[in-house]
Chains A and B, each alone.
Chain A
C-alpha cells in the first residue's frame, strides 16, 4: 500500500520560499504522476501542480510564476517550492498521487506564513 508523508517547516516568514518534501513508501515514484494540493483554512482545495518522472510538469496558472515541483527518484521523493510567500499562502499542503483524480493522499502539513 502506497503511503505519502509530507515534511517541512510549519512556520515561514512572508516573502521567503517554502520548501516541502513528500516521501513515498510502498511503491516506486517512477510509475505515477505526483501532485501537490493545498487547502487554506476554511476554504476549498486548490490544485497546485504535478510532476512525472520524465520531468514533465504542469502548474495551476494562478501559482505558476511562484511554484516549482521536482522529483528525486534516488530517494523516492518529490518536492514543492513556493516563492515570495504571503499570508494568503497559509494552508494545509497535501502531497498526492494522480495525474487526473487523486487516488492517494498524504496526511497533510500545516504551513503558516507569518512574521
Chain B
C-alpha cells in the first residue's frame, strides 16, 4: 500500500501567516490522485482539495494544493481563526486508499 508521511507533525502560527503542509508518498501516486481533508475537534473531516489542486465546493481560495508524483503540499496563504485544525492528506490513486497521520495547525 502507499504510505503517506505528513510533515511537520504540528505547526504553530499566528493569524494572517502562511502555513505550508507537506505530504510525501512512499511511491508515485497514479494520476496525482491526492486529496486534503480538514478536521476540527469533535467534528468529522471535511474535504478541502481533490486531484492535488482542485478545491471542493465552498472552499476559500486561500487553500492551495500543489505537487506531483510523491511530493505534495497544502498551502494556507493567510490563516484565519477557523483554519486551526488537523489536516490529513489522502491518496486514492491505488487501493487501498490511505491517509497520512495528520498535521495539526495551532494558534501561536
Partner-B contacts on A (CB < 8 A): 43-47, 58-62, 94, 98-108
Docked Cα-Cα span, A94 to B92, in Å, equals 17
Once the chains are docked, how many angstroms separate the CA of A9 from the CA of B51? Answer: 35
Pick from B46, B96, B102: contact of A44, CB below 8 A: B102
Q: Is the CB of A47 within 8 A of B102?
A: no
7 more CB-based (< 8 A) A-B contacts, given A45-B45, A99-B92, A104-B47: A45-B88, A101-B90, A102-B37, A102-B90, A103-B56, A105-B44, A105-B46
B-to-A contact residues, CB < 8 Å? 1, 33, 35, 37, 43-47, 50-51, 56, 88, 90, 92-93, 95-102
Let me know if A101 and B96 touch, CB within 8 A: no
Q: CA of A98 to CA of B100 in the docked complex: distance in angstroms?
A: 18
Complex interface: chain A residues within 8 A of B97 (CB):
47, 100
Contact B96 A47 (CB under 8 A): yes
By the criterion CB–CB under 8 Å, are B44 and A101 in contact? no
B96 near A102 (CB under 8 angstroms)? no
Chain B, Cβ-Cβ closest to A95: B44
Q: How far is the CA of A3 from the CA of B45 in the complex (A)?
A: 14
Q: Are A60 and B96 in contact (CB under 8 A)?
A: yes
CB distance from A34 to the nearest CB of B (A): 13
Whether the Cβ atoms of A44 and B95 lie closer than 8 Å is no
CA distance A96 to B95 in the complex (A): 16
- A62 contacts which chain B residues (CB < 8 A)? 96
With both chains docked as a complex, state the minimum distance between the C-beta of A29 and any C-beta of chain B, in angstroms.
19
Complex contact A44–B35 (CB within 8 A): no
What separation, in Å, do the CA atoms of A102 and B97 have in the docked complex? 10
